[in-house]
Amino acid sequence: ARRALRDLILKKHLRSLRHSKGFFYAHANKGGKYLARLLKGTAPCTQIRKLCLASGTISPFPQEIAEEFKNYYQALYNLPAPGGNDRSLNRTTAMTNYLHNNVTEMVNPDSASALDAPISTEELAAALKNTKTWKSTGTRLLFHRILYEICRKAPAMAHKSSKCCGRR
């Protein structure tokens, strides 16, 4: 039985070898293309078809896989379960403790008040004038041009709104 199996495997290998030799002989002048195809290999799998759950069982069901991922990342980031009233309070105290323990440099009060102040129309206009023509980080300066037009009209709009609201 082993000898028959070995002979069968040898025949398959010899046939494969002859086919490869014939293929490369027929396409000798296009070697790079075919060599690249052979070296490329197979594409990696992009789906998770089965997952070993924490209980040790293997599950092919998408709902169980999603639940396992949710449980894993919830435990990883130690997020509290939704629905608690003190959830925002816990996060606020956790963030405050983290900042208090890890942040060593503080912004001085003058800079902090300047950062907290609203951006003036003059500051926006100066920034837009210093921007090179047709150069922006966004979509072809469209945002900057619209913002410039809004800022140009802003004082007049603010004046009108203060009159109609009874302010001034």
Question: What's the pTM value of the predicted model, to 2 decimals?
Answer: 0.29
Is pLDDT above 80 for 165?
A: no
Tell me the torsion sign for CA atoms 82, 85, 86, 92. Answer: positive
Take residue 57 and report the two structure tokens written for it.
């069982």
To 10 degrees, the CA torsion angle through 158, 161, 163, 166? -120
Give the whole-angstrom CA distance, residue 136 versus residue 40.
Answer: 39
The domain ranges of the chain are: 48-79, 119-164
Look-up: residue for tokens 């203060």? 162
Q: How many CB atoms lie within 10 A of CB 66?
A: 12
Q: How many CB atoms lie within 10 A of CB 87?
A: 13
51-95 pLDDT, tens digit per residue, is 999 899 999 999 999 999 998 888 877 755 555 555 556 777 877
Angle at Cα 47 formed by Cα 38 and Cα 49, nearest 5°? 115
9-29 pLDDT, tens digit per residue, is 889 888 888 888 887 777 766
% of the chain exceeding 70 in pLDDT? 74
